[in-house]
Structure 1
Amino acid sequence: MITFIDSCGGMMFNHRRQSQDRTALQRIVDMTASSTLWMNEYSTKLFSGFFAPQVQVDAQFLDKAGPGDFCFVENLDVSAYLPFIEKFVLFYWNRAYPSDMKFSIRLDNGKWMCTQHEDFAGSSHEKITMEVYER
């Protein structure tokens, strides 16, 4: 699962997406190039300017994703899919927005381990952090 969150775990604010950072989106395209990247219709327009033949769009994308596939999630709670999630890739920055949807998964409970932490300059934020958590 791949998502953008703010410093308080917000995924959406005022029913809008957290980010449209092109640098982070390019990283997602590169990271998923040899896999399938599933998403719903809401997220499709984010990737329209990229060469990303791995993108698959379906309203039931969380049900269709298989082992090794990636799911880009902006506007859904994925807690029901937790037993099937192999890793989380989170992109975040040091801003808090008045979010109306939060990332609900606890990654600090001893079941998940941060295997990668990287800071980089984005196109919309001076510093974006990418963290990868695996079981």
Structure 2
Amino acid sequence: MFGMIPFEYRDHNLFNAFDNFERSFFGNSNVDLPAFRTDIRDAGDKYLLDAELPGFNKEDISLDIKDGILTISAEHNESNDQKDDNGNYIRRERRYGSFRRSFDISGIDENAISASYQNGILQLTLPKAQQVLPQSHRIAIE
């Protein structure tokens, strides 16, 4: 139990020391970019999912469903070129950004999902699947 310290990080491993030196010297290149924020509300017979995607156009966003997993992805590619009269660049800037999140949608009627995008907010309506109750019936004996 002497190795368990709940509120403090101890790093006395020789291999981690080299790894930490590399991160502090070159910067941590394995940092995950923050995914876009989502809010999910239960509205009784459906769920409402709001995803914040500011700066994206509707055409930049795709929604895919495969094996009960909904994947929201957004990709933005922008290039600003300014040239002089001779065709030489005065300024050239490029910007690229992409985000992707996946959600388990088991218990959702996949065929009735609807989506809208307005003012940087993607809103999905995810209707709950109707629970199929087992029906009972009587078998006649002949």
Identify the TM-score tier after normalising by the shorter chain: under 0.3
The structure with the largest strand share of the pair is 2
Q: TM-score, normalised by structure 2?
A: 0.17
Q: TM-score, normalised by structure 1?
A: 0.18
Structure with greater Cα Rg: 2
